[in-house]
Amino acid sequence: MQAVLIDHLAQLVLAILAALAIAILKKLANVADTRMHAGVGKDVALELVTQAETVVRTLDQTLKQELKVAQIDGELSRTDMQLLKSTGIKMLKDQMSNAALEVITKNSERLEDVLGRAIEAAVSKVNSQKPVELKGELLSAVGPGS
C-alpha cells in the first residue's frame, strides 16, 4: 500500500516537473524569438539608413545637378524636388533586400512613407556634411574640436 502511494506521488511530482519544464522552455523560446526579431529590426534599420544615404548621394551628384543646370536660376522647383524624392524612393525600394522590405511592410501601413522619411533624413544628413568652401579651398565639414 505504501509503495503504491509513493509511486502515485512520484508520478504526480514528475507530471508537475514536466509541466514546469515545458513552461520554462516556452518562456525561453519567446525570449529568443523576441531577441531574434529585435536583431532583424536593427539589421533592417541599418540597411534602410545606409541605402537611403547612398541613394541621396547618387541623386545629389547626378539628377539633381542635371535639374539645376536645366533651370535658368539654378534653383530647383517644387516639381524638381518632388521628382528627386519620388526617384529616390524608387531607387531605395530597388536597392533594399526583399527581406528588409517585407519587415518594413509588416510593421508599417505604407512602405513608401517609411522610405520617403528615410530619404528625407538622408538628405538632411548629406546636406549637413557637404564640403564648405573657405578662401578658395574646399574643406570638409568637421565636428567641434577637430
Of the candidates 101, 99, 121, which has an alpha carbon nearest to the alpha carbon of residue 111? 101
> In this predicted structure, what is the pLDDT of residue 91?
92
Domain boundaries, the chain: 37-124
pLDDT tens-digit readout, 28-75: 777 666 666 667 778 888 888 888 889 998 888 888 888 877 777 878
pLDDT tens-digit readout, 111-139: 888 888 888 888 888 777 755 444 433 33
Q: Which has more pLDDT, 34 or 96?
A: 96
Q: Which three cell numbers stand for residue 64?
A: 539633381
Q: Which three cell numbers stand for residue 72?
A: 535658368
